[in-house]
């Protein structure tokens, strides 16, 4: 019989935050468990070989998350009628000048848009893409500006038909400066008999049942193909469990959680649905699995961070997704050369887009 791990989860205090209490993310845990050496060097230490290659999947996914956030702001402002909330949080999410430009561009022919104002919403979507830093890469024919625009229009159509009525959480309808459930940063500490564990994440959207006030997580994903294998991966993925567990720090403990997964395909393909959404469930047993995995991995990270070249190398991962690992040159070099190669690697100072947003203390 496996003894349940007793835990409480509370928001990270200002003291822990200001002292820089170490944290883990779901992507960090996944990377270390895929291959400890790759995860420690790449995700924990943030080291990279200097290359001219862009992370196109990350860039395209980040831009589509911006589009999704923009559509959810329309729900707050146009569908729910809280225009002050929409503009205030639009300025926080996009930057004040960018949001003002995007909104002016969207409403130049329709000063007072309604939920039927598809043309205005299309202009908003195109403007979000046009004001981003994304540009075409000749080495990637799938993640192009044109394909992203096509994907965004399909998402807009699906959002208007299926997702726009989903009520997004608003903390205070009378105070537009209070949090709303769009790209909410999650930063909390699990306290157990095994110690403390700080985790951060970013909730794409929080839906709230207007009668029961129950909160449901909404997660937006992009993929090259949304087949059965892709969908089934979310039945166990720790990221979904983590975000639901973290939400308990703000909304109270729950026994069961429901998450709405929304997916878009880039590029849009004629043989499959361009957008879909479905529900996945979690419970406290899943949280137990999460905590066991995260505490196990935390020990690996703490032990090997200061000796990364001694970290175990999982060779079954060297050609994952049919691509050679980015650290292959390091791992195949002679031991006496590896230390110099590691020293010469570039440290990526900037966190991922989602990690940067997750560190904003807005709750």
pLDDT tens-digit profile of 216-243?
Answer: 999 999 999 899 999 999 999 999 999 9
Q: What is the pLDDT of residue 351?
A: 63
| DSSP secondary structure string for all residues of 104-151 | HHHTSS-SS--TT-HHHHHHHHHHHHHTSS----TT-SSS-HHHHHHH
Extended strands (E) in 43-127? 47-48
363 falls in which pLDDT band (50, 70, 90)?
A: very low
Is residue 120 included in any domain, yes or no? Answer: yes
Q: pLDDT tens-digit profile of 311-354? A: 999 999 999 877 889 899 999 999 999 999 999 998 875 566 66
Whether 102 and 127 have beta carbons less than 8 Å apart is answered as yes
Is residue 81 included in any domain, yes or no? Answer: yes
User: What percent of the chain stands above pLDDT 90?
Assistant: 82
Whether 76 and 85 have beta carbons less than 8 Å apart is answered as yes
Q: What is the pLDDT of residue 352?
A: 63
Is residue 19 included in any domain, yes or no? Answer: no
Q: What is the pLDDT of residue 31?
A: 95
- Over residues 131-151, the mean pLDDT reads 95
Q: What is the pLDDT of residue 353?
A: 60
Question: 85: domain range?
Answer: 56-163
**CA trace torsion 111, 116, 122, 128 (10° rounding):** 60
Is residue 222 included in any domain, yes or no? Answer: no
Q: What is the pLDDT of residue 321?
A: 72
Q: How many domains does the chain have?
A: 1
In this predicted structure, the answer to whether residue 286 has a pLDDT above a threshold of 80 is yes
């Amino acid at each position: 019989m496996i003894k349940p791990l007793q835990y409480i989860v509370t928001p990270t205090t200002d003291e822990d935050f200001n002292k820089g209490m170490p944290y883990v993310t779901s992507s960090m845990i996944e990377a270390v468990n895929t291959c400890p050496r790759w995860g420690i060097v790449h995700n924990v230490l943030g080291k990279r070989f200097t290359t001219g290659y862009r992370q196109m999947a990350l860039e395209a996914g980040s831009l589509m998350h911006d589009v999704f956030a923009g559509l959810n702001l329309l729900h707050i402002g146009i569908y729910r009628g809280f225009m002050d909330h929409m503009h205030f949080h639009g300025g926080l999410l996009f930057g004040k000048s960018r949001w003002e430009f995007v909104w002016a561009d969207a409403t130049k022919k329709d000063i007072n848009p309604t939920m039927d104002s598809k043309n205005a919403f299309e202009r908003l979507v195109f403007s979000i893409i046009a004001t981003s830093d994304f540009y075409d890469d000749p080495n990637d024919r799938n993640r192009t500006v044109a394909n992203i625009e096509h994907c965004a229009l399909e998402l807009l159509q699906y959002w208007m038909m299926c997702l726009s009525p989903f009520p997004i959480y608003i903390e205070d309808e009378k105070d537009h400066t209070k949090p709303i459930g769009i790209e909410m940063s999650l930063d909390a500490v699990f306290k157990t008999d095994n110690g403390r564990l700080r985790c951060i994440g970013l909730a794409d959207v929080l839906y709230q049942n207007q009668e029961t006030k129950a909160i449901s997580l909404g997660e937006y994903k992009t993929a090259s193909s949304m087949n059965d294998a892709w969908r089934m991966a979310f039945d166990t993925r720790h990221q979904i469990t983590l975000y639901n567990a973290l939400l308990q720090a703000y909304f109270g403990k729950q026994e069961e959680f429901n998450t709405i997964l929304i997916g878009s395909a880039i590029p849009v393909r004629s043989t499959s649905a361009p957008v879909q959404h479905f529900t996945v469930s979690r419970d406290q047993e899943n949280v137990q699995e999460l905590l066991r995995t995260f505490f196990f991995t935390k020990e690996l990270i703490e032990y090997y961070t200061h000796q990364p070249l001694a970290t175990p190398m999982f060779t079954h991962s060297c050609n994952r997704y049919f691509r050679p690992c980015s650290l292959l040159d390091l791992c195949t070099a002679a031991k006496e050369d590896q230390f110099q190669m590691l020293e010469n690697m570039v440290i990526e100072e900037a966190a991922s887009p989602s990690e940067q947003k997750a560190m904003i203390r807005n709750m």
